[in-house]
Each structure stands twice: as structure tokens, then as C-alpha cells.
Amino acid sequence: MSARMSALDSALHQLDQAVEQLGLDEGMHEMLATPRRSMEVAVPLRRDDGTLKVLKGYRVQHNFSRGPAKGGIRFHPDTDMDEVRALAMWMTWKCALIGIPYGGAKGGVAVDPRLLSRNELERVTRRYASEIMPIIGPEKDIPAPDVGTDEQTMAWMMDTFSAHKGYTVTGVVTGKPVSVGGSEGRGGATSRGVMYAAFSALREAGVDHRGATVAVQGFGKVGGLAAQFLHDAGCLVVAVSDWKGGVYNARGLNPAALLKHLKSGADTVVGFPGTDTITNAELLELDVDILVPAALEGVIHEGNADKVKAFFVVEGANGPTTPDADKVLEGNNVLVVPDVLANSGGVAVSYFEWVQDLQAYFWSEDEVNDRLKALMESAYDQVSTMARERGISLRTAAQTIGVGRVAQAHRTRGLYP
């Protein structure tokens, strides 16, 4: 295997492991490896200067045997069909693992949102939404935010879908602002879930989380609030990073102050007063207790896995560790809490949001957070029990549970015709 395995190679390799654990036949393996629907669309954009640029957009529905497809929309220059396929597959196992009635999907536009004006971003979002409209809807496929998109993107998507329908359809996307049918607690849900997953792992290992040192790669929607929640719970967050690089302070950073700094217009954490500058590569190799990769796929690979000194890797990002790296980390006794478990808080609360939208009846933030905690702790227990019983990694156990439930749904429904 190459040192830079693609996300799709990683996802298919992980599926192989789960299929082996479950003893599934070749036909079922092929069924689970193949997306049900893949759509590529042209997204023409009129730039503010009057010129026209045609972007590529994607939406992949990997599986809907357990319910409508669900998954985020990514705006990133490197997004392509294979990446979206991998991310959609991970969504299928994640939803099945945490027991919510969805299949997996993912979408994206190959564009760097940082290079677009707000008006251009709105036009890209609305055109992309109208291009994929034939296959999305509250009972078909429900998008959400991912890298490079946010609650404003979701508000524009919901508005575009509703304008075409002629009435308001809040349940078509999740991760919306609370003012237009979003859920309390959705904004911080993935990050809160990362914290619950980390604490479950530490508790099981008999380690007190108070005073535990943390490094977070990717100070975005997931990483930013994960750093803050971990800090607020008593951990010492010593390093965080973004696209430009990282900041380090052995005595601890103040994530809230860093978030405020970004909110007030800074485009990076680099250069924040009272911190030393480090690279993203250096951050991954810091001598900390907990490492939270919360940016992109494949950042821990064969070339650097041996240098990871953390005791726990808690995957806020999807697919940050390649299968080659998994082997090295396991050999070095680094406990990896896998993406489909560690970052499942986002889709869990997306599910709560969708349920609230369909019922037009909204819950308090405490209710949302309590349900999230119960769901994640139960998923962690199931995964760690299987891992112990079978002598396998948390990742293989998590994937085995998820894949097994999807295979079961296929068997129960039967094959049409």
C-alpha cells in the first residue's frame, strides 16, 4: 500500500476488514462497496467581475437500505467523486453504528470558498442545490454542513429547495440556524461528541481527563469547539492548527480567545499573541495525551504514524488515519477512537433536528445534549465490548457493527425484483 492511500482506498480496505469479521459473501460485499447513486453536476458561477466559471459538483448516496441518505456538503478545491464516495460510505456505517434510521451520503463542490465573495458563495450554493434537487428531500436525502460550508450554506439550500417547491421545507437539510428550523445544540454537537468519545476512552483506560494534554489539528467547526469543550472540562489544550499552520503553548491555550480572534476577522490562528508557531506536521507529533485530528483525510499515514506520541487519537475528522498508519499506531499501543464513532455526534443531532422539523416541535438544548450523550456512550460501549471480545481494534469493531446492521437490512428487505 502506498504511503498516501486515497480516502476511497482506505474506506474499501476498512470495509474488507468488517466483511471478513462478519463472514459476508462476495455478492453482499459488492453490494456494500457500491454506491446506490452517484451524481456529478455542472455548477456554473457568474463571478462578481462578470466572468463565468463552471465548477464541478457531486452528490453520492452510498446506501439507503435503513432509511433516507444523510451526509454533509463539502466545499474544497480537492473534492472529487472518489473522495465523496469514501465519505458517503463512512456515513452509512456511522448512521448504522449509532442506530439512527439513515443511509449514508455526501456531496461537494470543487471550489475554494475562501476565494469567493459572500455573493458568489450564495450563487454557488443555490445553483448546486437546484442541480441536486431531483435526488434530495426530507424523505430521500438530507444534506448538512461539512468542510467549507456552514449554517448559512444550509439556510441558502433550504431556501432554494423551498422556493422551487413553493412552500417551506425545513427538513431538507440539517445544521440550519435555529431561526429557520435548526436545532439547539447542533452547532457544537460533533465537538461535544468528540469530547464524550475521548472521555469514554480515557475512563476505560483509567486515566483522569483533568489535566490531560491535547493537540487539535483543524480549528474549524469541529476542532474549534472540541478544543473549547475539552478546555472547559479541565484538559490542557497545548496546540491547535488550521490550513496555515499551528500555535503552541506548553502552559495551555485559551480556545475561546482563539475563536474570538477568528470571529473578529483573522483568517488563521497563526501569530496569535503568547503562542509559538508550529507546522501541522509538528502538531501531529507532539508529546500529548490526546491528539484530535479534525481537518482532512489521510493526515496520519505510513510516513508519520511512527512519530505520533499521543496515547489517544480521537478522530474528529473523517478518515484522518490510513489503514497503514492504523497498523503502526496499534503496534505502538496508541488507542484510536475511530471517526465513525468519535465524530458521530454531528449526525446524531442532525437526526434530532430532522425529527424536530418533521414534528414542528422543538426541544431544549439540555434535552438535545442529554440524548446525544446517552447515544454516544451507548455506541462507545457496544464498540469497546466487541473490540474486547474479538480482540480487534475499535475501528474494526465500529465498522463491523455498522456494516453488519446494513447487511442485515439488505437481507431482511430482500432484493428487488
Question: Using CB under 6 A as the criterion, which residues of the chain lie in contact with ligand NAD when the complex forms?
Answer: 145-148, 190, 217-223, 241-243, 280, 294-296, 316-318, 343, 346
Closest contact distance (angstroms) between CB of 294 and ligand NAD is: 5
Angle at 314 between CA 64 and CA 404, to 5 degrees: 30
For the record, the C-alpha cell of 19 comes out as: 466483511
Smaller CB separation from ligand NAD, 21 or 188: 188
Cell 464498540 belongs to 383
Question: Which CB sits closer to ligand NAD, 159 or 242?
Answer: 242
Write down the least CB distance from residue 343 to ligand NAD, Å.
Answer: 4
Classified as helix, coil or strand, 395 is helix
| For ligand NAD, the closer CB: 194 or 403 | 194
Task: Give the position of cell 496499534.
Answer: 330
Rounded to a whole number of angstroms, the minimum distance from the CB of residue 186 to ligand NAD is 8
Q: Is 260 a catalytic residue?
A: no
237 membership: H or E segment, kind and range: strand 236-242
**In whole angstroms, what is the distance from residue 142 CA to residue 158 CA?**
10
Task: Name which of 7 and 334 has its Cβ closer to ligand NAD.
Answer: 7
Least CB distance to ligand NAD at residue 347 (A): 7
| 253 vs 296, beta carbon nearer ligand NAD | 296
Greatest pairwise CA separation for the chain in angstroms: 65
Helix (H) or strand (E) holding 266: none
From 53, 56, 94, 106, active-site residue: 106
In degrees and rounded to multiples of 5, residue 7 shows phi and psi of -60, -40
Compute the least distance from the CB of residue 290 to ligand NAD, in Å: 16
CA–CA dist 6, 297 (Å, integer): 8
Please provide residue 40's backbone torsions phi and psi, each rounded to the nearest 5 degrees: -115, 130
Q: Which three cell numbers stand for residue 216?
A: 487539535
Active site residues: 106
